[in-house]
Structure 1
């Protein structure tokens, strides 16, 4: 979903840019600023070129003309599939927009029209007078602010590319944040655990915490029931997403407590870092083993060699692969999930129940944590594994196209699809037809040719708002091959042991839900898929679970220190790990016993490690 508030307009953060699959047009963000088609006559182009800042087909007109709100569910999947997609999107992409000042949003519209003093970074969406929803409400302007441009890596002039505030890697940044400062805010400071409040909920978001990147909170009681603090600032965007964030906070704390039992000598830092490493591996494993195959298909997973291995270590890493997120992916392709979103949430008290305990419109839970404070998290989680998402089509819930982030007491909100279209134009991404060619599909020269890939009624709607097919806006493999820290890679100082990796491979989203949602005692093994033949409801106790005894520190110390001894020319990373382990473990188990001083230079370290390993059992 779009971000409303991020960095201030007068800042120039040194943050990584998104990758672009195709070079942007010469004037990114102005490709369609003029109300014209690429196939208009020269005379018409010259006339319309004088009309600055007027869009080709207004983004709201595209949304209203191409989409509808027909209810058609995908009975094969559960709502977990959609919530995981949003959680994953927030783990790898965060494109900031300009602010007037820290915590102050740029206002582009006033009294339903473009403001006279609109900021230069405004790019408001024009709303047609005959708009079926906004028209009668007197709205001719929808808020939209341009993205923050990134500093080119070589400082050369060229088309603007937006900033990605997050790492492109699937690394649990939604839980811990992308920076140490955010991680420090969510840590409890003892036992390696994360902060939580009464009811095992996410901690309260204190006023003033990174106000330059916070979304607004629409809680009716912002003092008593504020929005939540998590690794990602969008955690309270809607109740289902807040539930997923809460579950992962609980999972981290569960891991930290278990690690403390098997390693009572570990301090807060060791417990936190190892629990974080395991949790990151869990997220990666669930994503590539359960979720992505449902999204892109098993055949594509095999062709791109993206799947997880059943045994042994993987070698699927290439330093030639750029893992950066493509603008076309974040701005268009990955937003396919928006069509799957339900316009309401169904809550259930038990997995076995067929009776909905509460049905609430999505518009009523945007940026509002009330349901979780009311003790409804368990029922939301159960609803996630029982309720179906919408099908992937041109139908979008009106809660997204008319009531997105609707403030309390207002009669309307934003239009997510219009925002998607406008953001693609803001970033200057290629058109749908151009990306077809880039992806190996033939270009189309007429709307009729689109009927080979799209339903006839969708093509008809496109024809009604676009003058030519070339005008149609475009709406993971690199993350696998380009991640040198992917959980199943071997022969690295930070690799899991074989025994630990075998335990990680037992993890499923169903098991995570069982371990962290008290009311879930029975569940289907594949929680992203609906219960049924081959995926029957079963007791949580029958699902595989990790045994954290594989994380006893003796096992890890022996393995990493033996790697150091075996290496003829240890890498800098391996030396760092060996020094860390020697500093934490060797003094306690070897140097102290020998009643001698400890010297960490290479020669003494090598000897200490060698003697230390001889005393310990094999890993």
Structure 2
């Protein structure tokens, strides 16, 4: 394990090219002479709405008739390549629900693809200027970013979509807006072509080659004796609350379909339409399904679909995020937070019998979202980063009073590197079994365990808090590298290869560049000595050397997940930087963060003190049949918890 240096702690909380407040109140910036600012290195700037715009505009010499013809050709091309019908409510994706896009996301993606194709044609010098050609294309499109936003500055509750959290920039962090970048994109053509070129001549190794050579199967010797399997599962739930990319958007700037804020959108949804469909309309409650174990999630529309493979002919579930049915541990975590909402709503109804459905729903949602944030920052992140790093980021809850650190200049939107690489470290934590002898591979997209009278969410959660997770290292369970969403033997997805390819599709720069941006030493050779891969074991460095031709070729996810971990933490230093900075922004850039002192949205101090007593153990005990678990559920019971 790697010791934590004071220099590393000080560098961690610096945002790229942005001033940040340290716990002690002093301000620091990255030296612009050592790391150029993003705006200086980027090929695009952004409008106030967050949309890319070209730095310079060429004038057109083409007649309007020719512009119309080219625009029609571009529209026709994009319509042919889109795989999802525009009027489809539930597109079929045989490899699981992670690829499902909402209709509005499809529409925005269609627009993005058209303007991307137009940009490529303008580059050839034969299609006029981008504004003129784009104008001809845009006449047939409805761009939601151009709709004015009116905010209520005195609102007590968050919007479902996340819009108006930031009053100066209302769309920051809201659903259906582009991911932000913490480093310039690394597309081959500087526009959209996925990163695939070696720093030397030739191409990068194929993602599957990297996976099979670097990310071998983990085994019982890879278990982390300090932390439980629920750490992995809660981390996945957090991911699904803050990010879900739309696969059909222009690859130039991918779209986040979720609200970026930690607001419980995995429970409530990130669109008004979905949020309404999940509500009963009475008592502030969410819709449920009855079972011997207690309330289950609302059943889905369809009995059978490619993303629901029940062997007992039971329906899959609906929740605020469509990926809920990926596997039973995730379904159980969703069920836990749904039950907590309904438990809180019922208690509020008893205490306030005059409150109507809307008031009860909003108050329960507000409390549950605060509980969720408290568990994330006070319990989960100190485990992931270790106590010292978590404190440097100012993550743990205050013991009393309010927090006055909200920064309206911080855009909390999810960074592309976090989504496509950094936060995907959790895939290394997955072990073979989610409960007893139940393998993930046999239960992907199957809700049967939750309907089983002898099992249910209580059974699954009990196993998650009782069993160890895998270490964060280069080894990945075969459940994810060979059998993910497998329908026939040998037909599964390789998630490690998918992670690598997704990073390249997103134009994520190399591991070495992020070492520089994080204030860490980049490698100049494949050794582990001075100037080399100093945070890797000799074994990991040797395999990287035989897989990649140059240290600047190493993909961010592969390089970061294979680092030695920080003492007392789950992850290594590069992941701590990329992921920690994102959660720093999600706290400091959230006007509704539960400890904030905003006069319109803050909790009364006595209520805030009660929220600070929340723990994931308490929520599990309040909402399952379990009668006894360790107080710190992320820590293995035999390890001092």
Q: TM-score, normalised by structure 1?
A: 0.69
Following superposition, the deviation at residue 494 of structure 1 comes to: 1.6
> What CA RMSD, in Å, does the superposition of the two structures yield over aligned residues?
2.0
- Give the structure 1 partner of residue 137 of structure 2: none
- Give the structure 1 partner of residue 556 of structure 2: 474
Task: Work out whether residues 430 and 470 of structure 2, in 8 Å CA contact, stay in contact via their aligned partners in 1.
Answer: yes
Q: 1:458 aligns with which of 517, 529, 540?
A: 540
Task: Work out whether residues 28 and 428 of structure 1, in 8 Å CA contact, stay in contact via their aligned partners in 2.
Answer: no
Following superposition, the deviation at residue 4 of structure 1 comes to: 2.6
What is the CA deviation profile of residues 93-139 of structure 1, one whole-angstrom value per residue up to 9, with x for unaligned ones?
000113xxxxxxxxxxxxxxxxxxxxxxxxxxxxxxxxxxxxxxxxx
- Give the structure 1 partner of residue 604 of structure 2: 497
Number of equivalent positions: 443
Superposed, which structure 2 residues align to 1:290-301 within 5 Å? 290-301=379-390
- Give the structure 2 partner of residue 216 of structure 1: 307
1:68 and 2:68 matched: no
1:165 and 2:257 matched: yes
Task: Work out whether residues 591 and 598 of structure 2, in 8 Å CA contact, stay in contact via their aligned partners in 1.
Answer: no
Q: 2:421 aligns with which of 296, 310, 332?
A: 332
More displaced, 460-469 or 389-398?
460-469
SS in 1 for 2:527: helix
The structure that has the greater radius of gyration is: 1
CA distance in 2, matches of 1:240, 1:329: 23
Task: Work out whether residues 3 and 97 of structure 1, in 8 Å CA contact, stay in contact via their aligned partners in 2.
Answer: no
CA distance in 2, matches of 1:278, 1:194: 15
Superposed, which structure 2 residues align to 1:18-29 within 5 Å? 18-25=179-186, 26-29=189-192
SS in 1 for 2:322: coil
Task: Work out whether residues 7 and 97 of structure 1, in 8 Å CA contact, stay in contact via their aligned partners in 2.
Answer: no
CA distance in 1, matches of 2:264, 2:237: 10
CA distance in 2, matches of 1:533, 1:467: 42
Task: Work out whether residues 28 and 425 of structure 1, in 8 Å CA contact, stay in contact via their aligned partners in 2.
Answer: no
Task: Work out whether residues 31 and 425 of structure 1, in 8 Å CA contact, stay in contact via their aligned partners in 2.
Answer: yes
Following superposition, the deviation at residue 206 of structure 1 comes to: 1.0
- Give the structure 1 partner of residue 273 of structure 2: 181
- Give the structure 1 partner of residue 442 of structure 2: 364
Task: Work out whether residues 339 and 393 of structure 1, in 8 Å CA contact, stay in contact via their aligned partners in 2.
Answer: yes
What is the CA deviation profile of residues 225-261 of structure 1, one whole-angstrom value per residue up to 9, with x for unaligned ones?
1110111111111110100000111111100110011
Q: TM-score, normalised by structure 2?
A: 0.67
1:514 and 2:621 matched: yes
CA distance in 1, matches of 2:359, 2:178: 32
More displaced, 358-367 or 481-490?
358-367
1:528 and 2:634 matched: yes
Shift in CA distance, 379/341, structure 1 to aligned 2, threshold 3 Å: same
- Give the structure 1 partner of residue 296 of structure 2: 201
SS in 2 for 1:27: coil
Task: Work out whether residues 196 and 203 of structure 1, in 8 Å CA contact, stay in contact via their aligned partners in 2.
Answer: yes
More displaced, 11-20 or 169-178?
11-20
Task: Work out whether residues 3 and 215 of structure 1, in 8 Å CA contact, stay in contact via their aligned partners in 2.
Answer: no
Following superposition, the deviation at residue 534 of structure 1 comes to: 4.1
Following superposition, the deviation at residue 460 of structure 1 comes to: 1.6
- Give the structure 2 partner of residue 447 of structure 1: 526
CA distance in 2, matches of 1:314, 1:165: 29
SS in 1 for 2:255: coil
Following superposition, the deviation at residue 187 of structure 1 comes to: 0.8
Following superposition, the deviation at residue 304 of structure 1 comes to: 2.1
SS in 1 for 2:434: strand
SS in 2 for 1:389: strand
Task: Work out whether residues 2 and 419 of structure 1, in 8 Å CA contact, stay in contact via their aligned partners in 2.
Answer: no
CA distance in 2, matches of 1:2, 1:180: 20
CA distance in 1, matches of 2:533, 2:489: 40
What is the CA deviation profile of residues 302-346 of structure 1, one whole-angstrom value per residue up to 9, with x for unaligned ones?
222222111011112111111111101111110111100112122
- Give the structure 1 partner of residue 101 of structure 2: 6
1:394 and 2:474 matched: yes
SS in 2 for 1:75: strand
Task: Work out whether residues 382 and 395 of structure 2, in 8 Å CA contact, stay in contact via their aligned partners in 1.
Answer: no
Shift in CA distance, 487/228, structure 1 to aligned 2, threshold 3 Å: same
What is the CA deviation profile of residues 187-244 of structure 1, one whole-angstrom value per residue up to 9, with x for unaligned ones?
1111111111111111111139xx9xx98222235xx411101111111111101000
Structure 1 stretches lacking a partner, 5+ long: 46-54, 99-147, 150-158, 347-357, 536-619
Task: Work out whether residues 28 and 427 of structure 1, in 8 Å CA contact, stay in contact via their aligned partners in 2.
Answer: no
CA distance in 2, matches of 1:534, 1:197: 38
Structure 2 stretches lacking a partner, 5+ long: 1-95, 110-143, 145-175, 558-582
Shift in CA distance, 442/70, structure 1 to aligned 2, threshold 3 Å: same
